[in-house]
Amino acid sequence: MSKLFHPIQIKSLHLANRIVIAPMCQYSAEEGCMNEWHLIHLGKLALSGAALLTIEATAVTPDGRITHGDLGLYCDQNYAAMSLTLDSIRRWSDMPIALQLSHAGRKASTEVPWKGGRQFAPTHGLGWQTYGPSSVPYAENQSAPLSLDKDGLNRIRDAFGTAAARADKAGIDLIQVHAAHGYLLHQFLSPLSNKRSDEYGGSLENRMRFPLEVFESVRASFRAEKPVSVRISATDWVDRGFDLEQTITFARELEKRGCDVIHVTTGGLDPAQKIPVGPSYQVPLAREVKREVKVPVVAVGMISGYEQAEAIVGTGDADMVALARTILFDPNWPWHAAAHFGAKVRAPNQYLRSQPSRFKELFDPE
């Protein structure tokens, strides 16, 4: 049997296969609230046959949004809108749903990508003051963030915990803490963006301190039997930045604190990054992390082929693969992969008649 379609159990969460839908920002929320677009987008993916659907980066504070169109879970209105969307999806799909919690730090206050993605100054009508570990802007033409003081650190740490509690109440099955792609927790981890001289800066032990505090806040606020994962950028792709050796140390510390899954990605912290983009280009980093921890590891990055995904899981490079742009382009990718390998996949009863006659054993009815 295809390794890609072997089930896996993570705490109370049963996953039917090893295909995860990665969080993908839609920049279409209104004051942090889900709307009809999210119902269409997530509802479509919830019928895909993947094992787990992850909701996009969801800000824990208003100033933690990347753009004015980002999702949030920082108020009761955000919670109500998300709950309504989730209830509608769950009426027709039993796919487990995860949520990525995030704070954008110095990369916040930007325009949506299809309008250029430029950063707004704090005085702009669509902008706000950004925060970071140090007063170092992401790019030369951007406003410098305010360096977070102790009260600011406590505010954001507690906001992660509060958002996790709201997610638990909404029935989210897994939380992913976003410590990658150059956002706030990654900014603390990397010496390129963290220039602090207090207990949160300098040594790796100090630079890990705030991300680990945030993880502990989330873990304590989310039901114990439910898993919590962390997404890590394993390298900045910049000299003297955060790298694989430091990533492995961080991953071990997360594991000690009860992290259940580690999702390995790269980059996003510095415009000087030089990324050797190509199929499976991040998989070797996932492989190295997997060698050093006992929890499941997820690989991501230009994974689009069925045999490619099968090889990643089958050789033990990672326990699961995450699809992003690939599954936006082909929302039924898991169906096609199952047909390719002679495996089974869940499909809605309403779609059972679409099963091609040559794949008579493809669909498991809901």
Residues annotated as part of the active site = 183
Q: Within 13 Å and on the Cβ side, how many CA atoms surround 58?
A: 30
Sign, Cα dihedral of 304, 308, 311, 316: negative
| DSSP letters for 189-244 | H-TTT----STTSSSHHHHHHHHHHHHHHHHHHS-TTS-EEEEEES--SSTTSS-H
Q: Which two tokens stand for residue 196?
A: 């602090």
CA atoms of 171 and 66, how far apart (whole Å):
25
CA atoms of 95 and 55, how far apart (whole Å):
12
* Spacing of C-alpha 33 from chain mean position: 18
| DSSP letters for 233-275 | ES--SSTTSS-HHHHHHHHHHHHHTT--EEEEE---S-TT---
Q: Which two tokens stand for residue 31?
A: 């004051």
Report helix angle 244-256 to 204-221, nearest 10.
Answer: 40
